[in-house]
Amino acid sequence: MKIISINTGSSSLKFSFFNMTDKSLIASGLFERIGIEGSSYTIKYNGQKIREEIELANHTDAVKILLDKLVTLNIIKSFDEIDGVGHRLVHGKDKYKESCLITDEVINDLIVFKDFAPLHNPANVLGIKAFKEVLPTVPMVGVFDTAFHQTMSEEAYLYPVPYSWYKEHGVRKYGFHGTSHRYIAKTISEKLGRDDLRIISCHVGNGGSITAIKDGKCIDTSMGFTPLAGIMMGTRSGDVDPSIITYIMEQEGLNAKEVIDILNKKSGLLGLSEISSDMRDIVASMNDGNEKAKRAFLKYTRTVTNYIAQYYVLLGGADVICFTAGLGENSEPFRSKVCENLACLGIKIDKDANKVMGEFKKISTDDSNVLVYVVPTDEELMIALDTLKLIN
């Protein structure tokens, strides 16, 4: 059984091709600048990497070339070897509580929900339609970023605003990175041989979210109505006083959209440090004595610490804290500082064990009150697993 996991952007298409018999990755790649001058693709397979600049007028072109290359590179003998296509879908509102087979109704809903993810849902539809055109008989599955968080209670997902905003306009906490958090919960539960864990999952990359998980279900999560809420991120502010928006509109002569754009793209590490949105640059500058970098690092780690502490109380304690995604998996200083901030909870990490990048590893000491693990995420495999389950 072979399945392709697809993540479609407005001008990109990322894929991972799996043999589900042993869950091995056969090939992966990225098609970039679709519909833009200078488009290209990269495919990795069997220890090789090929890259070619090629005109890609639309997503259907990208899909046709992708599938053609799988055959011409002898990765598959024919399209008949492709048993399913799984699509990462960003926003299913509160209608989609789990992954599902993609039907015309699902496609229409993605279009209806486009205002909730204007950069992602329309792109997701483009990817679906492109594969539907080229592989019309192959079943497709939609895996929603928002689905895992639909187990939150009303007191967790409702905002303290007029209830009519929720009923009439869908204003509520939705949460994101759900596929990653679900993969982390599944992986750590399997590794520890328990399905009753209280987990605090820290998906921290350029974007980031913290999720409280109990018995495999989401109890609360830091991102909200949009991915702008929650912890400080690479270029996103995270939680701020909403009155700042109207204040800056008046002071700078901006409109609301322009201020939100700044909070999304020019804030966070980048905005506070005035150096970079990349934590590696921040740490290097901080080690060179740059006070702006130090300020940004301390603020960043504090916002993550605050959410972990909040969810520790919410869960009535925690069995395990998991760090994942680009920063969570690879930044020793970041993990060290966050855990140092949590020392009052009896959380201790082993400095030598914490010198780890991108591999599954326990980094807490044997006498730590809470287990701390680095757990590499694999959203693409999670999408493939869901696709396999549903097409079977």
Q: What is the mean pLDDT of residues 22-37?
A: 93
**Helix, strand, coil percentages for the chain (3-state, nearest 5):** 40, 20, 35
Please list the residues that pair with 361 across neighbouring strands: 374
Instruction: Give this prediction's pTM.
Output: 0.93
Interhelix angle 59-72/121-134, rounded to 10 degrees, is: 50
Residue 384 lies in a domain: no
pLDDT-based confidence at residue 271 (cuts at 50, 70, 90)? very high
pLDDT above 80 (res 12): yes
The Cα–Cα gap between 390 and 139 comes to: 9
Within 8 A by CB and 6+ apart from 389, the residues are 99
Q: What b-and-e string marks burial along 14-40, b requiring 16 or more CB atoms within 10 Å of the CB?
A: bbbbbebeeeebbbbbbbbebeeeebe
Q: Encoding tokens for residue 365?
A: 């000491």
Structural domains in the chain (count): 2
- Reported as a single tens digit per residue, the pLDDT across 151-178 is 999 999 999 999 999 999 999 999 999 9
Which of 85, 110, 144 is the last residue before a domain boundary? 144
Q: At 41, which CATH number?
A: 3.30.420.40
Residue 150 lies in a domain: no
pLDDT above 90 (res 123): no
Mean predicted lDDT score pLDDT of the chain: 95
Asked whether residue 275 falls in the same domain as residue 140, the answer is no
Identify the three-state secondary structure at position 203.
Answer: strand
Asked whether residue 132 falls in the same domain as residue 229, the answer is no
61 is a catalytic site residue: no
Q: What is the mean pLDDT of residues 283-301?
A: 97
Asked whether residue 332 falls in the same domain as residue 248, the answer is yes
Q: What b-and-e string marks burial along 272-283, b requiring 16 or more CB atoms within 10 Å of the CB?
A: bbebbbbbebbb
Q: What is the mean pLDDT of residues 185-201?
A: 97
372 to each of 107, 179, 191, 208, 390, how far by Cα in Å? 40, 21, 13, 18, 33
Q: Quick one: which of 90, 94, 238 has its CA closest to 153? A: 94
| Backbone angles phi and psi of 101, in degrees to 5 | -65, 140
Asked whether residue 228 falls in the same domain as residue 311, the answer is yes
Q: What is the mean pLDDT of residues 270-288?
A: 95
Asked whether residue 12 falls in the same domain as residue 106, the answer is yes
- Reported as a single tens digit per residue, the pLDDT across 229-238 is 999 999 999 9
Asked whether residue 129 falls in the same domain as residue 246, the answer is no
Q: Which pairs with CB-CB distance under 8 Å and at least 24 residues apart come from 343-350?
A: 345/309, 345/312, 345/369, 345/370, 346/370, 347/321, 347/372
- In the block, tokens 């220890």 appear at 47
160 and 271 Cβ atoms separated by less than 8 Å? no
The Cα–Cα gap between 3 and 188 comes to: 24
Asked whether residue 200 falls in the same domain as residue 139, the answer is no
213 to each of 189, 195, 296, 360, how far by Cα in Å? 11, 11, 28, 19
Looking at residue 10, what is its pLDDT? Answer: 78
Range in 34-38, 79-83, 377-381 the model is least confident about: 34-38
The Cα–Cα gap between 271 and 294 comes to: 13
Residue 172 lies in a domain: no
- In the block, tokens 């990322």 appear at 14
The Cα–Cα gap between 274 and 294 comes to: 12
184 and 201 Cβ atoms separated by less than 8 Å? yes
pLDDT-based confidence at residue 357 (cuts at 50, 70, 90)? very high
- Name the DSSP class of 364: B
Q: Which domain holds residue 122?
A: 2-144
Which of 112, 144, 176 is the last residue before a domain boundary? 144
Asked whether residue 114 falls in the same domain as residue 208, the answer is no
Residue 149 lies in a domain: no
Please list the residues that pair with 329 across neighbouring strands: none
Instruction: Name the catalytic one among 68, 80, 115, 145.
Output: 145
- Reported as a single tens digit per residue, the pLDDT across 146-158 is 999 999 999 999 9
Q: Quick one: which of 214, 231, 211 has its CA closest to 149? A: 211
Q: What is the mean pLDDT of residues 304-325?
A: 98
Dihedral angle at the C-alpha atoms of 145, 105, 103, 96, nearest 10 degrees? 30
